[in-house]
Structure 1
Amino acid sequence: MSQRWTRLATLLAGAALVATVAAGKAETASAADYEFKLHHFLGPTSPAHAKMLEPWAQRVEEASGGRVEIELYPSMSLGGKPPELIRQVRDGVVDIVWTVNGYTAGLFPRSEVFELPFVHVNDTAATNLAMDEMFDEYLAEEYEGLKVLFLHVHAGQAIHMVDEPVRQASDLEGKKIRIPTRTGAWVLEALGANPVGMPVPELPQALSKKVVDGALIPWEIIPALKLQDLTGYQIEGPDKARLGTTTFQVSMNLDKWNSLPADIQAVFEQESGRDWLVEVGNLWRDNDDGGIAIATKAGNEHIVLTEEQWDGFRAALEPVVKRWEDEVASKDIDGAAMVERARHLIQKNASAN
């Protein structure tokens, strides 16, 4: 065979191979019976994406026997801004979202009970389980148009400061501090600080330009946002105690959910149940420990307040819980009963998870 014909045969064989691979990919791509787009606001290297959302999606896919495919879209890559995620999933623009409840202030007042100071203390898994146990009776009605797959919290609001340490509650007076939720804003107001609301992706620029003096946010986000380079001090209470937390949801469009057969619904619920909530809680705690280690390695000062110093924060923040109870009373919500129930369930689950 001439070299010309040999080259032609090789090219034809290569083309056939490419066509076979392409056909295989097409077959694989269309193998799933149910496809979902999951949209969220953090980047693909963030712990929330890489260690929580991706593994969860993979578990659902595997448990479905390949009938489900969930494609993740981080960094608002499908368009819009973080506060628009709830509308996107309710309107069916996307199938599933992971978002901060507080980005849409006032929409989830019942769930705010878990964000209040000294309701969530430092046990993420226990708080996740308490939210799950309270959902049907206390929380469900505010998630209209959504199928909540799971709720969770982060490790809690710790204090990050650019160039001034905080050792007393009064040290925050007059400071501009970032916070994503209105309950967090109330915490800051009670401490004499000036709350500045913004989604977390905007925080690095706000810190670098001194738009804010610091932020209330957990440690876990430190490496993703390079906060070790933008702040000098990380402050928390004794035994990793925090100034409240932030509630998150992973929710599906309700019409999409109702269109699914019972066995596929069961897969989602099975992979989002109690064991998963404990795992998520432990994951966020581990990520938090990793984040503070990066900050201290970079030379930042990690300040753990004494019990006496923390008592000053407790005294200043007692009115915040009452403020929330009065606020939700206008919506016929018994806030005091919810606070009592949430604290009881968190304490109960602290030893059970």
Structure 2
Amino acid sequence: MKQKLLAGALAAATALTPLASIAETLVFGTGNVPMHPINQRIMEPWAAAVNEAGGDALQIEVRHGPTIVSPNNYVDRVMDDVVQLAWGMLVFDPGRFPRSLVSTTPFIEGKAEATAMAFCSLYEEGAFGEEFADYHPVFFVPFPQTNIHMKDAPITSVRDLAGKKVATGSPVAAAIVSANGGSPLSVILPEQYQALQRGNADGTFMNYTAFPGFKLHEVTTDHLDVPLGGATGMVFMLKSRYEALSDDAKAALDANGGCDKTREVGAIVDQWEADSKGFVMSQEGHTFNEVDPNELAALQENVFPMIVQGFDERVPGGADLVAKWQDAVSAARAELGDGS
């Protein structure tokens, strides 16, 4: 009888004791090879910080590699719940994010930290319309201005693009190549090495961050620094999935996201860009030039209006959006100082 009473008491006590919290796990697909610099510099430290803040409420499970998420399907993978978080470049899905491509506008000088601040400020004020209505961007990842990189072809001016096949990643970049007598090629970054190696492309518009990870220094020789537009990516999840999280889980994400995190990532990308360019400069067989200031001024005066017009034709209100982008970048540069 005593044993029955004891068992009953223990059962009642167990029923009244709260069960240990089980952390919600979100699978995060980066789409990158594990040793890619963006994983080491940004994605893995971010996931570790969220996991520390999330504790028993939220944990991020990072999965690398293009099998689970690729540059072309990162949005669909999130929508299909193959992963709950993903990283991807907006320019790789221009049909979904046409207004966001304002960050690819060329000839607007500014480092990644400044453009990070500008992009996030426009996002918060709703300048991108309904493009993000179904998504919750945890933070944005800005990339610095692209430059021109050629294989076995000296380049000291954008006019040297004449007759060349050049890999580009945006309509704006393609327009610049065409305007200077070249042939733009739509080749995504993971495929550019082979295109350059096989001679299918003579050059590429790219920033230096891509060089160590994709070994572009092995298939390029000549480089021209000219501000040909940046690009923006994001780490994101479905808005409905975010809203379904517990308050503690949301707090862990929010503490490691938003415009403050975006700006921090911008500064990391600037250092990554500087380190990557230094790496390329340390290799043999490379030459480096900067665009002549007079040529840049002429491009800003003569070509920039055509770029804006083209953007306005593709995106309703595009010209006004470019003007907002210019103002936002200028304000960010002023806040950071002239060197930004």
Fold shared by both chains (TM-score > 0.5): yes
Match of residue 350 from structure 1: 333
Match of residue 41 from structure 2: 51
Q: In the alignment, does 2:275 pair up with 1:290? A: yes
1:261-290 alpha-carbon deviations (Å, 9 max, x no partner): 223212212211333222211111111111
Q: Given residue 62 of structure 2, which amino acid in structure 1 is its aligned partner?
A: L
Summarize the alignment of residues 38-187 of structure 1 with structure 2, pairs less than 5 Å apart.
38-78=28-68, 81-119=70-108, 121-136=109-124, 137-139=126-128, 141-187=130-176
Whether contact under 8 Å (1:161, 1:234) holds in the other structure is yes
1:298 deviation in Å? 0.8
1:186-229 alpha-carbon deviations (Å, 9 max, x no partner): 23223332111122111111111011111111111111122222
1:91 deviation in Å? 2.4
Q: Could you say if the C-alpha distance between residues 187 and 262 of structure 1 is closer, same or farther in structure 2, counting changes exceeding 3 Å? A: farther
1:66 deviation in Å? 4.8
Q: Given residue 132 of structure 1, which amino acid in structure 2 is its aligned partner?
A: C
Whether contact under 8 Å (1:40, 1:82) holds in the other structure is no
Q: In the alignment, does 2:313 pair up with 1:326? A: yes
1:163 deviation in Å? 0.9
Whether contact under 8 Å (1:168, 1:312) holds in the other structure is no
CA distance in structure 1 between the partners assigned to 2:200 and 2:254 by the alignment: 42
Deviates more, 1:313-322 or 1:223-232: 313-322
1:69-118 alpha-carbon deviations (Å, 9 max, x no partner): 21222221316x42111111122221111111121222111111111113
Whether contact under 8 Å (2:163, 2:182) holds in the other structure is yes
CA distance in structure 1 between the partners assigned to 2:195 and 2:22 by the alignment: 43
Summarize the alignment of residues 170-319 of structure 1 with structure 2, pairs less than 5 Å apart.
170-237=159-226, 242-299=227-284, 300-314=286-300, 315-319=302-306
Identity level (%): 24
Match of residue 15 from structure 1: none
Q: Secondary structure in 1 aligned to 2:139?
A: strand
CA distance in structure 2 between the partners assigned to 1:83 and 1:312 by the alignment: 36
CA distance in structure 1 between the partners assigned to 2:290 and 2:51 by the alignment: 42
Larger helix percent = 1
Structure 1, gaps ≥5 residues long: 1-29
CA distance in structure 2 between the partners assigned to 1:303 and 1:64 by the alignment: 47
Q: Secondary structure in 2 aligned to 1:36?
A: strand
CA distance in structure 1 between the partners assigned to 2:229 and 2:256 by the alignment: 27
CA RMSD of aligned residues (A): 1.9
CA distance in structure 1 between the partners assigned to 2:269 and 2:306 by the alignment: 29
1:57 deviation in Å? 0.9
Q: In the alignment, does 2:320 pair up with 1:337? A: yes
Q: Secondary structure in 2 aligned to 1:231?
A: coil
CA distance in structure 1 between the partners assigned to 2:230 and 2:192 by the alignment: 17
Whether contact under 8 Å (1:169, 1:312) holds in the other structure is no
1:140 deviation in Å? 5.0
- Under a length normalisation based on structure 2, what TM-score does the superposition of the two structures give? 0.86
Summarize the alignment of residues 3-42 of structure 1 with structure 2, pairs less than 5 Å apart.
33-42=23-32
Q: Given residue 310 of structure 1, which amino acid in structure 2 is its aligned partner?
A: L
CA distance in structure 2 between the partners assigned to 1:267 and 1:178 by the alignment: 40
Whether contact under 8 Å (1:169, 1:316) holds in the other structure is no
1:234-260 alpha-carbon deviations (Å, 9 max, x no partner): 2103xxxx1001121111123321210
Q: Could you say if the C-alpha distance between residues 337 and 318 of structure 1 is closer, same or farther in structure 2, counting changes exceeding 3 Å? A: closer
The count of corresponding residues between Structure 1 and Structure 2 is: 314
1:146-173 alpha-carbon deviations (Å, 9 max, x no partner): 2111223211211111111221221112
Whether contact under 8 Å (2:91, 2:231) holds in the other structure is yes
1:31 deviation in Å? 7.8
Q: Secondary structure in 2 aligned to 1:43?
A: coil
Q: Secondary structure in 2 aligned to 1:114?
A: helix
Whether contact under 8 Å (2:31, 2:68) holds in the other structure is no
Q: Secondary structure in 1 aligned to 2:35?
A: coil
CA distance in structure 1 between the partners assigned to 2:331 and 2:325 by the alignment: 10
